Amino acid sequence: MDGSGRETNRVLGATASPRFVSGFSTGSNGSQRLGGKVAVITGAASGIGKATAAEFIRNGAKVIIADVQDDLGHAVAAELGPEASYTRCDVADEAQVAAAVDLAVERHGHLDVLFGNAGIGGVLPQDDMASLDLGNFDRLMTVNARAVLAGIKHAARVMAPRRRGSIICTSSTFGVLPAPMFAMYSVSKATTIAIVHATAEPLACDGLRVNAISPGATRTQMLQQLRLLSETAPGLREELKRLAGKEAAAAGWVLEPEDIARAALYLASDEASHVTGHNLVVDGGYTVHK
- Please tell me the predicted confidence (pLDDT) of residue 42: 98
Tens of pLDDT along 48-69?
999 999 999 999 999 999 999 9
* pLDDT mean over 11-27: 35
pLDDT digits (tens, 9 = 90+) for 235-268: 665 666 566 555 555 555 578 999 999 999 999 9
Residues 6 or more apart in contact with residue 257 via CB below 8 angstroms: 47, 48, 50, 51, 52, 218, 219, 220
Q: Compute CA 278 distance to the chain's CA centroid, rounded to the nearest angstrom.
A: 12
Q: How confident is the model at residue 289 (pLDDT cuts 50, 70, 90)?
A: confident
The yes or no reply on domain 6-225+257-289 and CATH 3.40.50.720 is yes
| Nearest Cα to Cα of residue 124 among 228, 215, 194, 256 | 228
**Catalytic positions, written as ranges:** 172, 185, 189
What average pLDDT does the chain have? 85
pLDDT of amino acid 181: 83
Band (284; pLDDT cuts 50, 70, 90): confident
> In sequence order, what are the residues at sequence separation of 6 or more whose Cβ sits closer than 8 angstroms to the Cβ of residue 132?
126, 184
Region of residue 217 (phi > 0: left; psi between -120 and 50: alpha; otherwise: beta): beta
Q: What is the pLDDT of residue 286?
A: 80
Among 265, 226, 236, CA closest to 61:
265
Could you tell me the pTM of the whole model? Answer: 0.83
Domains in the chain: boundaries = 6-225+257-289
Is the pLDDT assigned to residue 290 strictly greater than 90?
no
What angle do the packed helices 257-268 and 47-58 form, to 10 degrees? Answer: 50
